[in-house]
Structure 1
């Protein structure tokens, strides 16, 4: 059987801020894999990748039954689980934590090999090869009505982690990252954010009344780039002579002020205000989960907002060489033959 932790946490927690010495830690391995499951597993028939390994402990959350141990509210998809684990174990974090979804093999069939090859001194490592470049125009097309709330959620998440300065007001949140929020982070890297940051993020997403939407009350329109983006799209439509300029380019809430062509967007709130933006019922897939999907490398891993394309040297900062660890993505000799584990998606950030 694998090392699968299913017992509830200790009844008596250490004092806040009192870090536990390694000799007193509950963890028997340096690497702990935190699994964000819903109800995918039969307790008597666990996935094969949860096999016995003296180097790895599996810690499985479930979001189906609040009366069972290791319950996490089903908000924000895997993001809520990741934050909850850090909060619950902040004083006794393992040396390295791998955060994965219920079926990590769907995103990287070799993730288990990669996990075994993570450098012991790595502060951050991705467990996915898919590198994605996404300008904010992608989100305007995809999310339509709720895109201002998505942007507000991103900004609130950065603010919770003390990183508000990374995205100036009105700046477009163009991003480049590794897909699917499956990663390894060291306890030192997580603690560099401070427990208060994780608590603030948790209260945003899963606290009383938050409903996973990342924001309550009116949106802070003066911060958002989305109104400017919408206005630009409407003006472009008007120049082309489109009769329904407000409806094109993702601004589907037509001219509320009665002005023809929407050639001037006097007020975002009256001309293009997405009615869902203030709703607490918006799916957390597009708010909290979106923030984690696209920004986990920033607030968990300490990486740049727009990550540069991976290089052989980058892979080898995260993983042991494949000559030492079979299956590692650190393959310097592959740099010239196209065999590097890199899949690029998305489009250029250039205008």
Structure 2
């Protein structure tokens, strides 16, 4: 008897060849997921703007050129980047809001987490998360900046140095009257815990008392480039727990919704001050970028690239 194994497109069969008859016994081979084709062009930047009312949704011809180009509605061919657009107006996505829907929670944070939840298992290689009006926080074109990020960089703010937060204490925000700990500190502790960290060791590395006098240094305002590998630093379940927490009425205590917290975005604001920790893997009190040192911002961007925010050699 001769045994022959044949396989085609993930299905295989054993052929038992004898003198009188041939028997076919089918069985299945699981294909490696790496063979599944991604919906995103390889090694291409995908931009996720947190747009709400910054555009007239019913007048697409007047949408800003950077948005139209990323959607493929311009004469630029091939596109250097793609846009993935969410709308936060209509859960049914009816015209003119016929784009994927994201609930309108916590300003840009809701859309950022929505995209990660929706596409964690098929992320683009490179992503840029930006506001609906992305030019407020930088004097450079943030999309061009992201296109100029070096290949070995996994996270970079595209805001300029005006947005650097220098040693802001957690007590900058109101304290919880019950335990006298800054509410933003408590929210940061919860968020980092959801992502699997021993949060107090990150937020209070020297065991300072009171602990909310620890400092925050980093780029403000949550416009950043990040790679697929860095988002995959955390599991889908960890991101999902953060996404779900995004819809809760408060981050840690109902006190956040009292008069002392009026006008403060606790959950979104906390992430705005900790993205550099979560995705940059920097300390909370990150070192300030100094020109011509190992912590110069030019470590992120290629100076020779057109539109780079770092043009010097």
TM-score, L = length of structure 1: 0.64
Partner SS, residue 181 of structure 1? coil
Partner SS for 1:150: helix
Contact 2:170 2:215 in 1 (8 A): yes
Whose radius of gyration is greater, 1 or 2? 2
Give the aligned CA root-mean-square deviation in angstroms.
3.1
Residue 144 of structure 2 corresponds to 113
> 1:18-69 CA deviation, whole Å, 9 max, x = no partner?
9954870101252110111113223412212222462211111221221113
| Contact 1:139 1:147 (8 Å CA) reproduced | no
Preserved contact between residue 82 and residue 99 of structure 1 (Cα < 8 Å): yes
Structure 2 Cα separation of the partners of residues 118 and 22 of structure 1? 28
> Are 1:80 and 2:60 counterparts?
no
The answer to whether the aligner puts 1:41 opposite 2:51 as a matched pair is no
> Which protein has the bigger helix share?
1
1:317 to 282, 285, 299: 299
Tell me which residue corresponds to 1:93: 123
Query: Alpha-carbon deviations, 1:79-123, whole Å to 9, x = none?
Result: 121111111101110111100000001111312331221123320
- Segments of 5+ residues of structure 1 without an aligned counterpart are 1-17, 218-275, 334-351
- 1:275-312 residue CA offsets vs partner (Å, 9 max, x unmatched): x3465996684211211211111112222211111134
Residue 288 of structure 1 pairs with residue 267 of structure 2: yes
Contact 1:204 1:215 in 2 (8 A): no
Alpha-carbon distance between aligned partners in 2 of 1:19 and 1:91, rounded to the nearest angstrom: 14
8 Å CA contact 1:34–1:97 kept in 2: the answer is yes
Which structure ranks higher in relative contact order (CA pairs < 8 Å, sequence separation ≥ 6)? Answer: 1
Q: For the structure 1 residues 144 and 131, does the alpha-carbon distance in structure 2 shift closer, same or farther, using more than 3 Å as the test?
A: farther
Partner Cα separation in structure 2 for residue 290 and residue 203 of structure 1? 17
Which whole-Å CA distance do the structure 1 matches of 2:225 and 2:288 have between them?
19
Give, in whole Å, the separation in 2 of the partners of 1:308 and 1:83: 27
- Structure 2 unaligned residues grouped into runs of 5+: 1-30, 70-75, 94-98
1:61 match: secondary structure: coil
More strand by percentage = 2
Report whether the alignment pairs 1:198 with 2:234: no
Question: Counterparts of 1:42-191 in structure 2 under 5 Å?
Answer: 42-43=56-57, 44=60, 45-50=62-67, 51=69, 52=76, 54-68=79-93, 69-110=99-140, 111-129=142-160, 130-133=163-166, 134-140=168-174, 148-163=182-197, 164=199, 165-168=201-204, 171-172=211-212, 173-191=214-232
Separation of aligned partners in 1, 2:123 and 2:54: 26
